[in-house]
Amino acid sequence: MDNKKYESPLVTRYCSSEMLFNFSDTNKFTNWRTLWYYLAKAEKELGLRISDEQLGEMKANLANIDFEMAK
């Protein structure tokens, strides 16, 4: 399975490669991780005990998704 491409019976007929990527698992989970990163960054500014090291690790792994492990 290609995680960078949305899977559906209709995609070969009606979707461009850009649209396939927009709805892909890779794009979806990377966007979620990006939102979580910015949420953690804002929570740190509000006083939660989140270290710069933790934020750095989150940022470094935004697109590092192990789909096999997630299965």
CB-CB contact of 5 with 33 (8 Å)? no
Mean pLDDT of 52-57: 97
At residue 34's C-alpha, the angle toward residues 9 and 5, to 5°, is: 20
Q: Which amino acid is it at 53?
A: E
**Can you give the pLDDT at residue 19?**
80
**Can you give the pLDDT at residue 43?**
98
Tokens 């949305």 belong to: 6
pTM: 0.76
pLDDT single digits (tens) 14-51: 778 788 788 888 999 999 999 999 999 999 999 999 99
pLDDT at 1 over 70: no
pLDDT band at residue 69 using 50, 70 and 90 as cut-offs = confident
